[in-house]
Amino acid sequence: MRLPNLEPMMNGTWEQEGLTSYVNRLAENLGISTTDLILKVMVPLVGGPNDRNCNIWRSIDLGKKSGAKWVAALEKLTGRTDLNSLTLLRLSTICSLWSEIRRDAAFCPHCLEEAVDRAERVYTPLAWRLRSYTVCIKHRIPLLDFCRHCGCKKLRVFFAGGRNGCCYKCGRWLGDAVSLGNSGEGGLQELLTSVTVAELLSLALDGEEVITSVRGFMKEVVDERLNGNMASLARGLGISPVKARQYTICEDLPRIRDWELISEIAGVSLLDLLPCHSLPPDLGDHPWFRDTSRLSTRGGRPKGDLTATIVSTALRGALDAEAAVSLNRLAMSLGTHYSCLQRFEPELAAEVSKRFRLSVSARAEARRAKFQEDLVRAVDDLLAAGKFPTPSRVKARIDRKFCWFDFYKETYESEVKKRKLVNADGFREARE
């Protein structure tokens, strides 16, 4: 069986059509439902009893493993050889797509409406399938993931009478004036993340040379701008040193958020930064990549007036602050070990440690006092109710958050002895 050789929409651009949209348009062109196209035409070609309509959305846009056979089946049926570009396979070679694929559909009502105004076939871009793409960068409004007609909050990607731009439940058009009425503006951070997604999609279309160049980018950043300091890369991206090492040796791929941070630090677009590795000369001097190796405990006594000034300012600020802070936490905020602070400013470091210990002792004493008050109140309430204050009854009436076993046992026994409540039998005899 031969299917129509349908041309993908916006092929070769970041706005290119996704494979799920292509399948929906193909079914519409044939005048059959999407379910019939998948189950009666594609599944016999792919094979396998578990390849059903309910599972195809998990793999068809990703293009890997099980998704590759769907692409091969469509290319054989339509005679086209470029349908692999409608998947996220190329993008997955330069960034991690873990948990990035949307389970349900999302859409921009303005884009759908403009397609109708231009008398074009309605399609859904591949970018809409990514969770990080939350704002339409053409209209700067958030993508919607629900139908404003029937209130359906889970828009299926594939369904029996699947049509791009229509709700699967009520079948009504999603890009009409009702959907456009109350669309608010997207946040700046979400817009920047969506722009990063568009730039990565564009880079993924530029061929194997660009993909290879992009995959070696992190290693070049570490070697040429951070002097081989893997910890600086980890600190700048907010990841562990182990993950940073995996990025540099290509055992793992950076997330979309990591590429966004690199672009923000460099101050240039990913389209300008990645293909030619045009690293800014001051990239390593960015505060996020601030080199704290001089504060390290290795290599002898640290040097540098600037570092000493930073340590002194941080310690004095901790002493002036209303809440006490530990020396270890303060050192972590500076990216160093607390022993370095003790070497630079031993007196100030001792004052900070002493203040923190006193605050901890004061809080512990306050908790003990409150616990003792609660225990006495619980015993009084039980006696007033005519019940013997057993340990379990007392525990049920106090805050167990501060109920340390040894302290509770000592306090309880002291209170019972003070009130001469030896046992339950004596308590009943006293009452009689």
One domain, residues 303 and 285: no
Domain that residue 306 falls in: 293-344
CA distances from 305 to 287, 295, 302, 431 (A): 18, 12, 10, 77
Residue 169, pLDDT score:
83
One domain, residues 61 and 93: yes
> Of 38-52, 53-67, 243-257, 362-376, which range is least confident?
53-67
* Residue 192: inside a domain: no
Write out the two tokens for 13. 């651009």
When the pLDDT of each residue in the chain is averaged and rounded to a whole number, the result is 77
**Which residues fall within 8 angstroms of residue 348, CB to CB, at 6 or more apart?**
312, 315, 316, 319
* Residue 384: inside a domain: yes
Q: What is the mean pLDDT of residues 109-133?
A: 85
One domain, residues 274 and 298: no
* Residue 14: inside a domain: no
One domain, residues 274 and 307: no
One domain, residues 336 and 374: no
* Residue 113: inside a domain: yes
Measured CA to CA, the distance from residue 289 to residue 212 in angstroms comes to 25
395 or 155, higher pLDDT:
155
One domain, residues 239 and 337: no
One domain, residues 41 and 105: yes
* Residue 198: inside a domain: no
Query: Which domain-ending residue is among 317, 344, 371?
Result: 344
Does the structure show a pLDDT above 70 at 57? Answer: no
One domain, residues 144 and 261: no
One domain, residues 251 and 129: no
One domain, residues 24 and 119: yes
* Residue 97: inside a domain: yes
pLDDT digits (tens, 9 = 90+) for 371-389: 888 888 888 888 888 888 8
Measured CA to CA, the distance from residue 45 to residue 69 in angstroms comes to 9
187 or 298, higher pLDDT:
187
pLDDT band at 59 (very low <50, low <70, confident <90, very high): low
- The enclosing domain of 237 has a CATH number of 1.10.260
CA distances from 2 to 26, 37, 60 (A): 12, 12, 20
Measured CA to CA, the distance from residue 207 to residue 97 in angstroms comes to 19
- At which residue do the structure tokens 């873990």 appear? 98
State the first-to-last Cα distance of the chain, in angstroms, to the nearest integer: 98
Query: Which domain-ending residue is among 268, 289, 310?
Result: 289
57 or 319, higher pLDDT:
319
Residue 406, pLDDT score:
65
Number of domains in the chain: 4
One domain, residues 284 and 301: no
| DSSP sequence for 307-374 | HHHHHHHHHHHHHHSSS---HHHHHHHTTS-HHHHHHH-HHHHHHHHHHHHHHHHHHHHHHHHHHHHH
**Which residues fall within 8 angstroms of residue 344, CB to CB, at 6 or more apart?**
302, 307, 308, 311, 312
* Residue 132: inside a domain: yes
pTM: 0.63
* Residue 228: inside a domain: yes
Query: Which domain-ending residue is among 147, 181, 215?
Result: 181
One domain, residues 390 and 304: no
